[in-house]
Amino acid sequence: MLELAVESLETPALTKAQLAGLLFEQIGLNKRESKDMIDAFFALITHSLAQGQDVKLTGFGNFQTRTKLPRPGRNLHTGEAISICARRVVTFHASSKLKEQIQIATAT
């Protein structure tokens, strides 16, 4: 299991730089190769989603694109009625394995 140190309590997030560092430390790739691999991985996911393809990562979850229809909305500051345009959004559904791991981690 990977041990990750959170650098700041204000932003407890795993960054691309940290992922590249883990590849460097645990697999032995040099730092440039690690960064390039992480960048290529996310570029491939981004490209696939932009093309309308779902991305399924076994044991982690699924990223899917969805088209939201245009709908009426309201400007919260002025109360004015506005029209919200149709748009594509990305949704993520965690796998049951990921959900299970999260529950185990929070139980300890």
pLDDT digits (tens, 9 = 90+) for 12-29: 789 999 999 999 999 888
pLDDT value, residue 106: 83
> Is 3 inside any structural domain?
no
CA distances for 43 relative to 11, 37, 39, 40, angstroms: 24, 10, 6, 5
* Stated pTM of the model: 0.74
> For 37-52, what is the mean pLDDT?
96
Q: Which domain holds residue 23?
A: 14-53
Q: For residue 69, what is the DSSP state?
A: P
> Is 61 inside any structural domain?
yes
Q: What is the CATH number of the domain that holds 70?
A: 4.10.520.10
Burial of 20: CB neighbours in 10 Å, binned 0-12, 13-18, 19+: buried
Verify that 45 and 85 share a domain, yes or no. no
pLDDT tens digits, residue range 49-83?
Answer: 999 999 999 999 999 999 999 999 999 999 999 99
> Is 70 inside any structural domain?
yes
Distance CA 5, CA 8 (A): 9
